[in-house]
Amino acid sequence: MVQAYDQKGRLRKKGIEQWYAHVGHQREMSYRDAQHTVTISVERLIDKGLMVGYGVRTPQKWFIHEVKLTPEGKRVGKKLRGVQQELPMSSGSKEQGTGSGNNS
């Protein structure tokens, strides 16, 4: 979910699987196990309304190729990431609220 938050748009599911397999390689996880884990996780996030999946539907199942965060998913991703949105501030206003105590 954090990867999708950082991406700011559609994210290919295969890229998530490859990243997860690479990280899981340290724990001796196969690519097939990583693929299964990512698929289950993505389906759960879609069911919760945090992601939207794009792909192909057959009568039996969905084949998800890309995912994108919903607005609610972006809020949760931001909270998970622990990053506050930075607001653009002009550098000229720094001296106004210094609290020097001389108001005369």
Asked if the structure places residue 6 within a domain, the reply is yes
Whether residue 104 is contained in a domain is answered as no
CATH of the domain at 14: 1.10.10.10
pLDDT at 7: 67
Q: Answer whether residue 22 is part of any domain.
A: yes
pLDDT at residue 83, rounded to an integer: 61
Q: Please give the pLDDT value at position 48.
A: 92
Asked whether residue 100 is domain-assigned, the answer is no
Q: What is the mean pLDDT of residues 6-28?
A: 74
Mapping DSSP to helix (H, G, I), strand (E, B) and coil, where does residue 52 land?
A: strand
Query: Which contiguous run of DSSP H or E holds residue 57?
Result: strand 51-57
Q: Whole domain around residue 53: which residue ranges?
A: 2-81
pLDDT value at residue 20: 74
102 within a domain of the structure (yes/no): no
In a domain, 59, yes or no: yes
Under the banding of pLDDT at 50, 70 and 90, the label for residue 102 is low
Domain count, the chain: 1
- pTM over cut 0.85: no
Q: Show the tokens assigned to 52.
A: 């939207």
pLDDT tens digits for range 42-98: 889 989 999 998 988 888 888 888 888 899 988 888 887 776 556 566 555 455 545
- Does 16 reside within a domain? yes
- How far apart CA 35 and CA 40 sit, in angstroms, is 9
